[in-house]
Structures are given as structure tokens and as C-alpha cells.
């Protein structure tokens, strides 16, 4: 743990988390001045060991420094052990993160296998005391195995107790995270990363800033994982992600990042690498670490669909996103930074950045998860079709979610939602309420449009 003393402030300890076993050549250190770590998540079914190993190998070759896999049941726990073993046999030691929802027993079982476990302890049990007890047990298992924990809370999935006290708000997100952070501190467990994600960039930035200040007051500044959930795809998904993430990195907040796109996960890496390179300068605790990270970022940039265009888009989103979010500016011209842009291109990118910063909406707001091992349909194709057929519905917020597990909660801002049930069926939501269940997938977009009134 590094210690920083800020003038006129209480001294606080800046914590670093280690992900990966001590003897692993690919372990990463997150926080306390170390270079920003880039990560992504498999969209294969974790139980499909062959497909998951192949995708992990591809992602590692493209510069991923951590790879997350959904681990929703004991079957996936067993599969993750096999995936890890096969990757190690191939000489691939990139740390693997188990993404666990709701089941404390699954988290306990996988803690001896994964390098990090992502949990929302508030979902472990309806009764708060039970959730606390289960987290306490998990801490001890992780301590024994050298496993890191990510306390990952998302807007829209805070649980009844917290929302009853604070509402589904940035304050509620911060307060929920601090409860669990205090438990970790109380048990002397510091191998912890924390995240507070939202598809709403303004909510996301406010929540992280609140948590950052709350942790400093508590005396321990844990590393923070940044991301905009359900950002979508294409230019919109990239710009929305960069606006949210860069606004925090500009403040010195954030230590590891994921750009969530409804695309092949390999395409998330170049955008994350751009941000890591831009905002890691001067951070490195050791020069060697910066050199090693640069090599990974370079690999990631090569996976770009169009490196020059993606760099320009990310640069513009960094230049203007935070200023728009914080209302330091009300207008700007992309062409002033990139004179090569045509008038039409400049206007288009301005509209996209304005919408990402939630200053002006020129088209529907789309919320779409990137897909994972819980997704039971062709999410990328369906999302593109939903966008095509609803592009005229300016001002509406439409969500396309891969599964029923956390989709309904995490599309908290949506007016309408298309949520996969599995088995070729879809549930359609109006706000937070399901209005049509078990709709055949080939009819679902038509039914959605009928309900909207178009």
C-alpha cells in the first residue's frame, strides 16, 4: 500500500490490488500509480470450454491484460477451471476474472480458481445480515487463495434496501459500495477493486466522484474499475464510453478500464488501449511496468477496425466530453481540432459527443449490453435491426439486453426494453415493467414497435 498525504486533508492510504498469482508472468497490479490496466469479457458460453479457450487466447494475443467470464453456476465454475488449465498449458497466463451474480456459493467455489471474483454482495441474499456473512466468508477464501475481489455495483441493480434509503441514485451507488468496502477494511482485506457503472454517463461520473471522495475520507483509496455499461456499438458506443471514462481519468480517477461494446470483444481493446496510453503518462511506479504496458497497448491498437478514425473519434471525445458533462462549455466544433473533417462529418461527430454527454439528443438513446455467456440469441444482429427500425424515434430510450439475469435492472433509464429470455423468446418491457412475455424472437421487434405506437 502506498501512502499519500494531501495538503489540508486527512492522510489516506492509496491501495493497490494484485490480480494473478505471485509467480505468474502475467499478473497485474492495479492502482497506486501503476499503469492503467485494460480488460475485456468473453461473450462465449463459459461452459463451452473449447470456444472460451479460443476466445481468451485471441483476446490475450490482442493485448487484453485481464479477461472476465460469466460464472453463473457450478457448471461454469468447473468450466473455468478447465479453461484456466488449458490456457496455462498453452503458455497463456492472462488473469481470469469470474463474473458472479446473486450466488454467494458460486463465488465461494470459484474464488480458488479465478484470479479475481466480481461480485455485488447486496445480491447475495435478501437479508442484509446474511449478505454480510457470505461476504465475510468470501473474503477469507480469497485471502487464503490470493484472489482479488471486485465489488461491482451497477445503476439499476442496487437492491431494495439501498434504493429504499437513497433511491436509485449516484448517492445510493456510493453508499452501497462503501458498506462493503468498510467490511473489507474491517477484516483487513485490501486486495479489492471497486466499480460503479451506469449506461448514463452523467450518473456514472457523479457516482465515481462521490465514491472517490468518500474513500479518501474513510482513509483508504481503493483502485477503481471504470466503464460505461451497455454503451452499444459503432461510433456511438465508442464515443459514449470515452466520454464517461475519460471524464474520470482527467480527474485522476480510475485504474483499470473496460470499454463495453455490443461487438466482438476484441474490438473493445483498441479504445481501452488509447485511453490507457493517454492517461497513464507519468503514472508508472516503475519504468519497466510502463514499457510492458505499452507493448500490450500496442497489440490492442492493432485490433482496431480503423485505427486512424478510432483515434480521431476518441481524441475528440476526450477533448470535449468532460467539458460538456461538467457544463464548462455549451458548444464546440470538431473541425477546429481536425480541419480535415467535412462539414457533414463534423456535424455528425458533434451530435454524437453532445448526446454521449447528455447535453442534446438528436436520435434515440440506445442501451445495449455487450453480451456474455448468459446471452442466448444473436445480440449483435438483433441490436443492429432494432436500431435500424427505430432510428426515427428521437428522444426515446430503448434497451436491448442479452439476458433476464441483470438486464431488467441495468436498463434502468430505458423507456422500452427488449430482453432475451432464452429458448428463442423475448420479454418486452415498458420502463421497469414487463408488458409482454415469451414473445417469439422473430416477432419481437414488430411487437415492440406496435407497443411504442409506430
Binding-site residue ranges for [4Fe-4S] cluster = 369, 372, 403, 410
Residue 25 backbone dihedrals phi, psi, to 5 degrees: -70, -15
The angle at the Cα of 136, spanning 25 to 108, to the nearest 5 degrees, equals 55
Number of H helices, E strands in the chain: 16, 18
226 alpha-carbon distance from chain centroid: 6
* Alpha carbon distances (Å) from 34 to 246, 256, 287: 17, 10, 10
**Binding residue positions:** 369, 372, 403, 410
* Cα Rg of the chain, angstroms: 21
Relative to beta strand 425-430, strand 433-440 is antiparallel
Helix (H) or strand (E) holding 68: strand 66-70
**Of the candidates 253, 251, 257, 252, which has an alpha carbon nearest to the alpha carbon of residue 272?**
257
Spatial distance between the Cα atoms of 330 and 200, rounded to a whole number of angstroms: 19
DSSP3 helix / strand / coil % (the chain, rounded to 5): 45, 20, 35
Spatial distance between the Cα atoms of 31 and 2, rounded to a whole number of angstroms: 10
Per-residue DSSP letters for 269-333?
Answer: HHHHHHHHHHHHTTT-SSHHHHHHHHHHHHHHHTT-SSHHHHHHHHHHHHHHHHHHHTTS-S---
Spatial distance between the Cα atoms of 59 and 51, rounded to a whole number of angstroms: 12
The 3-state DSSP class for residue 201 equals helix
- The single-letter DSSP state of residue 102 is S
Please classify residue 430 by burial: count the beta carbons closer than 10 Å to its beta carbon, then call 0-12 exposed, 13-18 middle and 19+ buried.
Answer: middle
Q: Which three cell numbers stand for residue 421?
A: 429470455
- The single-letter DSSP state of residue 181 is H
Amino acid at each position: 500500500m502506498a501512502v499519500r498525504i494531501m495538503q489540508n486533508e486527512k492522510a489516506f492510504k492509496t491501495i493497490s490490488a494484485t490480480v494473478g498469482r505471485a509467480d505468474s508472468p502475467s499478473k497485474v497490479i492495479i492502482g497506486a500509480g501503476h499503469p492503467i490496466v485494460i480488460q475485456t469479457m468473453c461473450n462465449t458460453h463459459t461452459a463451452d470450454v473449447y470456444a472460451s479457450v479460443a476466445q481468451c487466447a485471441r483476446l490475450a494475443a490482442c493485448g487484453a491484460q485481464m479477461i472476465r467470464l460469466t460464472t453463473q453456476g457450478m457448471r461454469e465454475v468447473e468450466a473455468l477451471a478447465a479453461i484456466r488449465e488449458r490456457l496455462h498449458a498453452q503458455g497463456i497466463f492472462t488473469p481470469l476474472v469470474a463474473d458472479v451474480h446473486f450466488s454467494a456459493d458460486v463465488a465461494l467455489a470459484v474464488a480458488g480458481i479465478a484470479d479475481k471474483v466480481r461480485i455485488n454482495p447486496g445480491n447475495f441474499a435478501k437479508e442484509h445480515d446474511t449478505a454480510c456473512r457470505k461476504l465475510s466468508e468470501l473474503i477469507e477464501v480469497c485471502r487464503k487463495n490470493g484472489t482479488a475481489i471486485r465489488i461491482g455495483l451497477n445503476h439499476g441493480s442496487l437492491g431494495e434496501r439501498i434504493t429504499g434509503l437513497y433511491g436509485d441514485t449516484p448517492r445510493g451507488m456510493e453508499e452501497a459500495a462503501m458498506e462493503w468496502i468498510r467490511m473489507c477494511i474491517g477484516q483487513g482485506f485490501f486486495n479489492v477493486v471497486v466499480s460503479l457503472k451506469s449506461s448514463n454517463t452523467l450518473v456514472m461520473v457523479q457516482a465515481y466522484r462521490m465514491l472517490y471522495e468518500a474513500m479518501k475520507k474513510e482513509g483508504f483509496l481503493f483502485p477503481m474499475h471504470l466503464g460505461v455499461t451497455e454503451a452499444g456499438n459503432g461510433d456511438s458506443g465508442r464515443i459514449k464510453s470515452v466520454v464517461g471514462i475519460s471524464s474520470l481519468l482527467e480527474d485522476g480517477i480510475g485504474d483499470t478500464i473496460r470499454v463495453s461494446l455490443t461487438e466482438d470483444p476484441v474490438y473493445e481493446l483498441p479504445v481501452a488501449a488509447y485511453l490507457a496510453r493517454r492517461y497513464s503518462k507519468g503514472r508508472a511506479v516503475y519504468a519497466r511496468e510502463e514499457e510492458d504496458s505499452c507493448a500490450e497497448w500496442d497489440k490492442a491498437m492493432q485490433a482496431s477496425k480503423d485505427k486512424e478514425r478510432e483515434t480521431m473519434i476518441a481524441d475528440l471525445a476526450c477533448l470535449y466530453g468532460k467539458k460538456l458533462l461538467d457544463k464548462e462549455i455549451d458548444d464546440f466544433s470538431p473541425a477546429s481540432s481536425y480541419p480535415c473533417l467535412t462539414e457533414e462529418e463534423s456535424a455528425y461527430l458533434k451530435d454524437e459527443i453532445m448526446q454521449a454527454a447528455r447535453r442534446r439528443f438528436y436520435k434515440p438513446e440506445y442501451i445495449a449490453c455487450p453480451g456474455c455467456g448468459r446471452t442466448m440469441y444473436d445480440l449483435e444482429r438483433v441490436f443492429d435491426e432494432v436500431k435500424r427500425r427505430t432510428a426515427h424515434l428521437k428522444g426515446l430510450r430503448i434497451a436491448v439486453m442479452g439476458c433476464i439475469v441483470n438486464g431488467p435492472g441495468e436498463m434502468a433509464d430505458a423507456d422500452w426494453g427488449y430482453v432475451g429470455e432464452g429458448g428463442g423468446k423475448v420479454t418486452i418491457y415498458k420502463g421497469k415493467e414487463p408488458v409482454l412475455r415469451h414473445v417469439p424472437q422473430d416477432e419481437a421487434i414488430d411487437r415492440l414497435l406496435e407497443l411504442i405506437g409506430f
